[in-house]
Structure 1
């Protein structure tokens, strides 16, 4: 066999194989100055005998000297490192099974490694990383990728971390990437920063994890829990604004892979609790899996026996003996599962898959592992109340839509109004609860009062129920803006809306739709219209501030309500002006314009009904021009306001910068409300718009399928769907 190289230096000549030699090679004589031995040649024993004769006490060269084929003066007994290893600070050791690595194969492997790292570098650059010096990147030696003797090279993680300069202000000497999911890597410093942000800003909304536990412990418990915490903290991560978008695809794939493997530990359930509380942002509800994940969370929890924590062995193939701390951890996780499942059910207008039984029963005076923290206990009480309202008012077995009759609903409203007041006194009297508990309490009151939109005008106490709804909306939104404003009276730093849960955002949206509907109806005469107007404008800004990415669901909902307001405000103002001009109060004509057509989504039916009516109007009316509206916003307090001016967006609703306007124009094309829309037409749905380009303001399209036939397909998906979520 021709062309066989002897394993050795580059100067080794190519020789022909001698017949009968093993492996087609033979041992050539060389002097001892060149090398001591060469493994695999079959002549090591002879070399060692020669070494014994030449240098007593030296039995075998160390690994480092054998690799380089150099003379070695290591002494085995007693062991003394050789002079070369001692001089170069190398690890001097002798291993009988050591094999030399040929330089040719090693160089080939290094070349493959360099090519792979360069490919990873290109992908990282495409994801937004910054490389400091492309010229230096071409020379691995210049970046310290190899050791001093070119004997070993770094792993890919170390090499990539040394090549890349993150936007966090790192350099070539930055700490190496310690955690990586697909193509997204994080340094230890970034992980600690994100975890601290999670504990400070997000954890107060759902305090059930242990802040004193190190990030590595969470990763060891389950990678999904670790990456979920990172993803939640990345929602407002200013050091790397693209981190959430980069994480969305990998974390989503990890999530569904984990679910597909049938999770069997409660750390996955904890991750699902966080994901359902702060879902990845989407631009349309058709890509929002939160309600599905909520069901998976509850089924996974009951599948491993979290609802029977003291009898976990009944759900395991092996005997399980939990200590007090482990038992308490499972009880807390089960309580949080029910809190999250109830809030998801309420916020999405769907039946909640909760289970309130002995495990979560309130036992005064008990200080055992089944005792919850005051914060979680109060939250659980509130969610139990919401569960009663949903099941009694919107789960009527004798009605095809599940809605209780007018008389029964009026009676239940009185009963639950009294129970809510008792719950309110009980919770507000405690000094050990955060303002966030009060925020959820007011949201529960709004959940109860939104049933007023199901009443007919002939229902006993109809106007009183509407007034109760108006006060519930004011109480909830006033508290939202009170907590949003920094104050020394509470331990929150202000700006809580930026970190609020999906449920709080949904209730704010429902409150804003209620404001819009009440101020655009006959009921506007019974309330302070100006306060309603200002509160509506402020709520729109609040919803926009909760937007995570460009053109996501909160931003689109806010735009939809702006257009409805611009169409509905004209008639309300003209009626008010007419009443003031006459100098006398005209009698309020009560009608059924506030009743809902969409009635299957519990208290959230208001949101879906309003969107559905807007779709009807859009389909029936002509095309407008959004660009003209954004360039010429109307002053809502202008005395010259006319129906024509209603084509423009309210100036108080415009974003603070032009960036949002440009993004909206790029996404929407040209859409705006038509001229001359009245409050009755806008709210009752007698007119509409052309369907062209309308999908950019259609945040709930999939939920309305079947109600109206629309000849278009959703093609304006932006945000995370375009960044790997699909």
Structure 2
């Protein structure tokens, strides 16, 4: 469309030009430039290099900061590689050289080599890694650096030896024959993840893990956000999901998220299709039969770990257990080179998955479980499946896999807590849950290797023992305890609390196992001060977490009681540690109208002057290292937060 002609009365400004141009420094600072001569008054006063460039464009601070960050990162990598005797490589050349090599840790088009040995010369490329190893004389002098953490290579070699001796058999996804230098040049994240696991029981430097944790956590999320996914990244996520860093708290524990991310990343890399990785890669990559086995083991471990953590949190069944590779491993029809520890773990979690899936299909309530007698029949069928699996694998199971199988059975049996007490089938189910919980503790006590295994076991074992102890606690302090050996149950409970302390990490601050152990002792002392609990049937206010609802319900009690004590204050006027009348009557009210509350939530009303108040202030003072400003600090043993719901439904 033609432009309208300019009015003759309008002044002609096309030929006018700016008579003054600001200098580059003033234009960058967005300051009016009094440029009469070079340098201008501002540049002369500040001491800047004054120049005039009509084509100059301002540079934003964000771009400048990013450029500086890249320079710092390049210098940091240069220093690290100088320690290792290897010069840093640019991103483009590093990517092309690695992807065209025989490195199973990077994605690429797969040229499957059926021979057990790689066709690539060992003198040029490290076996199964595709990374150039530094010369032997420079390897010995290397020092590993992560942020402010510096460890000589001699110590890292000892830590890798510790990892493969004490931790590897729990999660057999790494290759023990590879050197620590090979792992370092393959993936810095995987290298330091192994170091973090190996230092959990390091007595020579108990503060190392506490100093390493924030640096490794930053490296983890930076790698996930900026680097391409690889086999080494998946393996690092699995290690940190199995043995979380000790500084994780209520809002920072992302073990289940990491395990899910590792499982989905494995699918993206084609690990669930051994021998067919060509459809999941872009570049050429040569893999040996051993490399493909490593990828398959990582895939199976991610599926099993994700399901086990999902059970701990009460999230129900996860996906991918119908995959043909998982079925083949569980049925023993393929993958003969898979370690038996991993195969048994996958079989247990598959049975667990099928049981939870059976419950969810017939669920007729918002709590995710079937209602009526149909629910009891399904739970009984699930128990039978676990009994069959136990009879099949009983003589082959390791200590941790035996505990996993017993805990999977206990998780199903804890669903009996979700039903009303007027059903005659509920009591036998709760007694079977008590028997299973007792078997878990007895398994630890009777196993001759438990003293050597527990200190290095995954953190999930803490939750297994914790849940078993809670079942013993709730059954013995209820009407279900008739005919049970109270003294024997108390011994099992104390043994469980002691066993959890063995899994504690050596560091200055108390970690999750220590806090959970002290919480159990506080529960028992509180129950002995409140004998009215034994006259009531066990009820739960939280019922939406399947078998994990019991643990969440007990943690809710601690949260509410600690909040009440802080609201009352340490100087509140009380007599014999009793709450004021107004508060006592308020706490005694049930959240459900016209119904008695759960007895464990009732503060005691002593008929005499005896102190029978549940959870007095002295009991709640568990540890000076706990941050009492967090009202949910007691859930730091590994469980997420509760929703703040004012009305608890049945």
Contact 1:547 1:555 in 2 (8 A): yes
Task: Find out whether 1:362 has 2:300 as its counterpart.
Answer: no
Alpha-carbon offset, residue 209 of structure 1: 2.1
- Alignment correspondent of 2:645: 707
Q: Deviations over 1:521-540 (max 9, x none)?
A: 11122311111112212222
1:556 touches 1:696 (CA, 8 Å); kept in 2? no
Q: Which residue of 1 aligns with 2:275?
A: 310
Larger RCO (CA under 8 A, 6+ residues apart)? 2
Matched, 1:561 2:520: yes
2:422 alignment counterpart: 458
Q: Which residue number corresponds to residue 426 of structure 1?
A: 392
> In structure 2, what is the Cα distance between the partners aligned to 1:480 and 1:599?
29
- Number of aligned residues: 476
Q: Does the Cα contact within 8 Å between 2:540 and 2:549 map onto a contact in 1? A: yes
| Partner Cα distance (2:467, 2:226) in 1 | 37
The answer to whether 1:386 aligns with 2:352 is yes
Structure 1: tracts of 5 or more residues without a match:
1-119, 121-153, 159-174, 576-588, 626-640, 655-660, 670-691, 710-726
2:435 to 471, 476, 481: 471
Matches within 5 A, 1:247-266: 247-261=212-226, 263-266=228-231
Q: Which residue of 1 aligns with 2:405?
A: 441
Find the counterpart in structure 1 of residue 581 from structure 2.
Answer: none
Change (3 A) 1:703 1:337: same
CA–CA distance in 1 between the matches of 2:408 and 2:364? 26
Match status 1:515 vs 2:454: no
Aligned to 1:179, what secondary structure does the other structure show?
Answer: strand
Aligned equivalents of 1:478, 1:664: Cα separation in 2:
29
2:351 is equivalent to residue 377 of structure 1: no
Q: Distance in 2 between matches of 1:391 and 1:321?
A: 39
TM-score under structure 2 length normalisation: 0.66
The 1:418–1:352 alpha-carbon spacing in structure 2 relative to 1, beyond 3 Å, is closer
1:228 to 170, 193, 210: 193
Separation in 2 of the partners of 1:365 and 1:255? 36
SS at match of 2:150: strand
* Deviation of the 1:283 alpha carbon: 5.8
Matched, 1:219 2:176: no
SS at match of 1:426: helix
Counterparts of 1:173-572 in structure 2, within 5 Å, are: 176-261=141-226, 263-282=228-247, 284-318=249-283, 322-351=287-316, 353-356=318-321, 357-362=323-328, 369=335, 371-394=337-360, 398-430=364-396, 433-483=397-447, 487=448, 492=449, 494-548=451-505, 549=507, 550-572=509-531
Cα distance, 1:498 vs. partner? 1.7
1:616 aligns with 2:560: yes
Counterparts in 2 of 1:201 and 1:354: CA distance versus 1, 3 Å: farther
Q: Give the Å deviation of 1:395.
A: 6.3
2-structure distance, mates of 1:562, 1:470: 18
Please state how far the C-alpha of 1:434 moved relative to its aligned partner: 3.0
Distance 2:528 2:405 in 1: 31
- 8 Å CA contact 1:521–1:572 kept in 2: the answer is no
Q: CA deviation at 1:375?
A: 2.3
CA gap 1:261/1:297 in 2 versus in 1, 3 angstroms: same
What RMSD, in angstroms, separates the aligned Cα atoms of the two structures? 3.6
Largest Rg, 1 or 2: 1
Q: C-alpha distance in 2, partners of 1:271/1:614? A: 34
CA distance in 2, matches of 1:523, 1:367: 45
Tell me the CA shift for residue 254 of structure 1.
1.2
TM-score computed with the length of structure 1 as normaliser: 0.59
C-alpha offsets along residues 666-723 of structure 1, whole Å, 9 cap, x if unaligned?
6468xxxxxxxxxxxxxxxxxxxxxx886554537961132259xxxxxxxxxxxxxx
Change (3 A) 1:454 1:696: closer
- SS of 1:703 mapped into structure 2: coil
Q: Is the 8 A contact 1:307 1:359 kept in 2?
A: yes
- Shift of the 559–394 alpha-carbon distance from structure 1 to 2, 3 Å rule, reads farther
| Cα 1:341/1:693, change in 2 over 3 Å | closer
Distance in 2, matches of 1:698 and 1:301, equals: 31
